[in-house]
């Protein structure tokens, strides 16, 4: 029971990794003399990553609604 929070923590860890990746992509754009094409590509990449995270979260929620006993479903903790 001690490790239950860590199961939900994996989602938070993925979100933190996503934010870090987006920050690095944005920093790369700024250091590249502000090229509009690079900014567009970075924005497209970050938007795609965000959409993928949303789809993943929705799919997990649907799986948990169908079968709450799945290991990934665990007890719900409030998101802050």
Residue 54's pLDDT is 95
pTM over 0.85: no
Distance CA 50, CA 47 (A): 5
Distance CA 72, CA 64 (A): 8
Mapped to the 3 state alphabet, what secondary structure does the chain carry? CCCHHHHHHHHHHHHHHHHHHHHHHHHHHHHCCCCHHHHHHHHHHHHHHHHHHHHHHHHHHHHHHHCCCCCCCCCCCCCC
Cβ 32 vs Cβ 38: under 8 Å: yes
| Structure confidence by residue, pLDDT tens digits, 23-67 | 666 655 555 466 888 999 999 999 999 999 999 999 999 999 999
Grade residue 10 by pLDDT with cuts at 50, 70 and 90. low
Extents of the domains making up the chain? 11-66
Residue 62's pLDDT is 94
Q: How many CB atoms lie within 10 A of CB 47?
A: 11
Residue 2's pLDDT is 43
């Amino acid at each position: 029971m001690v490790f239950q929070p860590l199961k939900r923590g994996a989602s938070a860890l993925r979100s933190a990794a996503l934010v870090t990746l987006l920050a690095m992509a944005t920093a790369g754009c700024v250091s590249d003399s502000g090229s509009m094409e690079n900014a567009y590509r970075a924005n497209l990449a970050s938007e795609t990553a965000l959409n993928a995270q949303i789809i993943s979260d929705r799919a997990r929620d649907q799986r948990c609604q169908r079968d709450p006993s799945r290991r990934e479903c665990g007890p719900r903790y409030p998101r802050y």
